[in-house]
């Protein structure tokens, strides 16, 4: 490359066989072979591989300036970083900080995954525990249901007598205001009222494991169902306890109203053949409300059985079947034969001839035969000074010394003795003194009305 025009000499190329032909290489004349180039002072030429590239001065100096500036910038930058190592330190520190932040983020995500896994395992364990509690609770409720099913009816046990000959009630007995057996049942709406008053049971919230696996609704339904069963069992138990308590109050009230001594009556109760070691009642330390209430009911039932056996000696039941209709009451009346005032020591029940006469309490026959104005009469000693008489019978079905039970037929209605027509003369006596039988009958009505 030159500021002036450049001249190049070209030599002819000879064929390789020219030497054989006697040709000789001769230098070319420069003047004749030169290619004239236009001379200019403003052009720069670059020759490379036989090719020429021409630049204008402006472009040339721009390129040169750019190269020089890049070299100066590189030298300045290298010098700056060589003498300012704090910049490099900051860059390295920033890189390290970014690396640490990235590692911290990775560690945080890993810890979060571990916590999530641990939480799921814990939730699963809690879910299994809740399910196990539900199964145990269901087992307990089933045992409670068995205990409730085994609980006998709360009754005033009065066995019916086997029909005897001449008993007109062998077909279908007529309804009696004072039933032989009283079964106490809670009002139909009691359970609903008790359940409506019971506090609402909030189902426990299911954990995330249960939610994720769709078990939360199952747990809620199971818990709700068990709550309903438990409320119904407690309501039934409360109804039984309330009815038994009410029955106990009425039974004690009967004894009190009649002016009888309960201790004396209990002492007069004949003892049945029974025995065994004494085992006190004990409740476990973890006994719940149901078990405690069931224990109270069992104690009350045992006491009520004892009172039932005691009241079996009290003649508060009707001696005849059917509607009660008196033809003559207790007390002063006009004598049906003499027409003068006289004391009537019993009640005259209207009845048809041949109707069965039933004993009104357990006892022992002390008289069975003809007895003056009573005609054919049966007297039963119930113990503790209580006795009953059944007069004007047409037939006697028991013997002296015979043990009779409540409801047993002792004779048939008639009109023997001092009588104007078929009826039953019924007396109740305490220590040999006649008392108004209606007092006992009214006590029986109150006892059965519950």
- 3-state SS assignment for residue 82: helix
- Answer with the residue of higher pLDDT: 301 or 152: 301
Task: Give the domain extent around 402.
Answer: 326-448
pTM above 0.85, yes or no: no
Q: Residue 424 domain-assigned?
A: yes
Residue with token string 């810890």: 111
Give the highest mean pLDDT range of 36-45, 111-120, 320-329, 368-377: 368-377
pLDDT at 69 over 60: yes
- Answer with the residue of higher pLDDT: 402 or 50: 402
pLDDT at 374 over 80: yes
Boundary-marking domain end, from 36, 51, 83: 83
pLDDT at 23 over 60: no
- Burial environment of residue 310 by CB neighbours within 10 A (0 to 12, 13 to 18, 19 or more): buried
pLDDT at 356 over 50: yes
pLDDT above 90 as % of the chain: 24
Cα separations in angstroms, 25 against 12, 13, 29? 8, 9, 13
Q: Residue 76 domain-assigned?
A: yes
Domain count, the chain: 2
Give the highest mean pLDDT range of 172-186, 189-203, 282-296, 314-328: 314-328
Would you state the structure tokens that stand for residue 230, as one six-digit string?
Answer: 């438990």
Q: Residue 116 domain-assigned?
A: no
Q: Residue 267 domain-assigned?
A: no
Cα separations in angstroms, 349 against 4, 93, 324, 352? 169, 120, 7, 10
Q: Assign 213 a pLDDT band (cuts: 50, 70, 90).
A: low
What pLDDT score was predicted for residue 13?
46
**Mean pLDDT of the region 244-261:** 84
pLDDT at 34 over 80: no
Q: Residue 100 domain-assigned?
A: no
Boundary-marking domain end, from 83, 105, 134: 83
Q: Residue 252 domain-assigned?
A: no
Q: Residue 247 domain-assigned?
A: no
**Mean pLDDT of the region 101-112:** 89
Q: Assign 25 a pLDDT band (cuts: 50, 70, 90).
A: very low
**Mean pLDDT of the region 422-447:** 91
- Answer with the residue of higher pLDDT: 183 or 348: 348
Boundary-marking domain end, from 83, 117, 138: 83
What pLDDT score was predicted for residue 31?
40
What pLDDT score was predicted for residue 277?
85
pLDDT above 70 as % of the chain: 74
Q: Residue 376 domain-assigned?
A: yes
What pLDDT score was predicted for residue 153?
54
The CATH number of the domain holding residue 358 is 2.70.70.10
Torsion of CA 333, 334, 336, 337, to 10 degrees: 130
């Amino acid at each position: 490359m030159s500021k002036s025009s450049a001249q190049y000499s070209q030599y002819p190329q000879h064929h390789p066989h020219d030497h054989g032909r006697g040709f000789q290489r001769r230098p070319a004349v420069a003047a004749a072979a030169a290619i004239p180039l236009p001379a200019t002072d403003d052009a720069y030429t670059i020759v490379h591989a036989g090719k020429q590239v021409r630049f204008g001065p402006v472009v040339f100096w721009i390129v040169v300036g750019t190269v020089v500036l890049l070299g100066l910038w590189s030298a300045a930058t290298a010098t700056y970083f060589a003498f300012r190592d704090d910049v490099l330190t900051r860059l390295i520190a920033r890189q390290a900080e970014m690396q640490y932040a990235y590692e911290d983020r990775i560690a945080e995500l890993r810890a979060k995954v571990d916590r999530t896994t641990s939480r799921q395992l814990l939730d699963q364990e809690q879910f299994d525990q809740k399910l196990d509690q539900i199964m145990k609770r269901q087992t307990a409720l089933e045992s409670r249901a068995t205990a409730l099913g085994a609980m006998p009816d709360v009754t005033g046990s009065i066995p019916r007598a086997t029909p005897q000959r001449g008993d007109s009630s062998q077909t279908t007995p007529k309804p009696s205001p004072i039933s032989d057996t009283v079964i106490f049942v809670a009002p139909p709406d009691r359970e609903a009222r008790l359940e409506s008053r019971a506090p609402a049971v909030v189902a426990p919230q299911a954990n995330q494991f249960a939610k994720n696996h769709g078990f939360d609704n199952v747990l809620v339904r199971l818990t709700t169902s068990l709550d309903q069963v438990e409320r119904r069992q407690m309501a039934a138990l409360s109804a039984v306890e309330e009815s038994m308590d009410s029955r106990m109050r009425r039974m004690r009230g009967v004894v009190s109203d009649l002016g009888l001594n309960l201790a004396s009556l209990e002492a007069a109760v004949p003892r049945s053949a029974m025995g065994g070691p004494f085992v006190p009642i004990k409740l476990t330390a973890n006994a719940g409300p149901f078990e405690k209430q069931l224990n109270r009911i069992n104690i009350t039932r045992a006491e009520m059985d004892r009172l039932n056996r005691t009241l079996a000696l009290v003649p508060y039941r009707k001696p005849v079947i059917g509607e009660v209709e008196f033809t003559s009451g207790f007390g002063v009346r006009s004598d049906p034969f003499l027409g003068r005032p006289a004391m009537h020591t019993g009640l005259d029940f209207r009845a048809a001839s041949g109707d069965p006469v039933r004993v009104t309490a357990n006892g022992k026959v002390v008289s069975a035969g003809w007895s003056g104005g009573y005609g054919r009469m049966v007297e039963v000693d119930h113990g503790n000074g209580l006795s009953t008489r059944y007069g004007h019978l047409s037939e006697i079905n028991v013997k002296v010394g015979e043990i009779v039970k409540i409801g047993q037929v002792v004779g048939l209605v008639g009109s023997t003795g001092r009588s104007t027509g078929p009826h039953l003369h019924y007396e109740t006596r305490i220590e040999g003194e006649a008392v108004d039988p209606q007092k006992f009958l009214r006590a029986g009505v109150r006892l059965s009305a519950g």
